Amino acid sequence: MLGSEIYLKGRFWEVDFARGIGITMMVVSNFVTDLQYFLGYGEHPFFWHVFPYTTASIFVFISGLSFWISYSRSVKKNSRPYKKYFLRFGKLFGLGLLITLTTYVLLRDGTIYFGVLHFLGVASILAIPFYRFGVRNGIFGVLFILGASLISGIHVNSLILLPFGITPQNFFTLDYFPIFPWFGVYLLGLALGAFVYPRGERRFEINFPKIIPIEFICFAGRNTLKIYIFHQPILVGLLFLIYEGLPNLALPFL
């Protein structure tokens, strides 16, 4: 059901399950962000401040772990599988640029210049030289996270340093994943991957539980990019239809 037979061919269901949990939380988080941005929703501010960071951390961490598994398997076939990851960078960063253009045209403010897709594209290249360090990436991960506190007070009147976490004063964006600290979270996932999945193989065996809710979550985990790309147009479109228009949404044809 739902393509779960793929787990008989070496794919790890528990990784898809964790990724599915992450993308589900992200859809919920982004929906609340839509309510806040377009409709002024302000209930439970502390929870909805913490929840997005928790969601993002899970998503980026699992992405780092997945990179470890993927790269470990790739180097078995080709000791320099760089082309695959440069193509991945091009795909993810290209989709990120499309989101930048869309939010620049359609939103009155909050343009997404370096969101999660931009970051994941860059991370898939940055992680290559770190692969050799295995579990020691945990140390580098902590350093990247701590590094964010060192540059958080630095501001320049330019967007060129946004990928590093250096922003203009009073900078506002709806989605922002700078290398400091998020590449640190990615490296922590890489470190756990090295420990739990050495050479891209499990240290242990976990049988796939054929339970419908778990199958649905794993299905979502196998389709995170598609869900991420399409969920916001659907959510914003539904809100637009329900409220017959949305503040802060500047449709050029209306």
Question: Which three-class secondary structure string do you get for 157-224?
Answer: CCCCCHHHCCECCCCCCCCECCHHHHHHHHHHHHHHHHHHCHHHCCCCCCCCCCCHHHHHHHHHHHCH
Locate tokens 């490296």: which residue?
187
Query: What would the two tokens of residue 143 be?
Result: 């350093």
Q: Which pTM value belongs to this model?
A: 0.96
Task: For residues 24-38, give the mean pLDDT.
Answer: 97
Partnered with residue 167 across adjacent β-strands are 155
Percent of the chain exceeding pLDDT 70 equals 97
Query: Would the pLDDT of 183 be above 80?
Result: yes
Q: What is the pLDDT of residue 250?
A: 85
Query: Would the pLDDT of 5 be above 80?
Result: no
What is the rounded distance in angstroms from the CA atom of residue 163 to the CA atom of residue 181? 10
Residue pair 165/180 in contact by the 8 Å Cβ criterion: yes
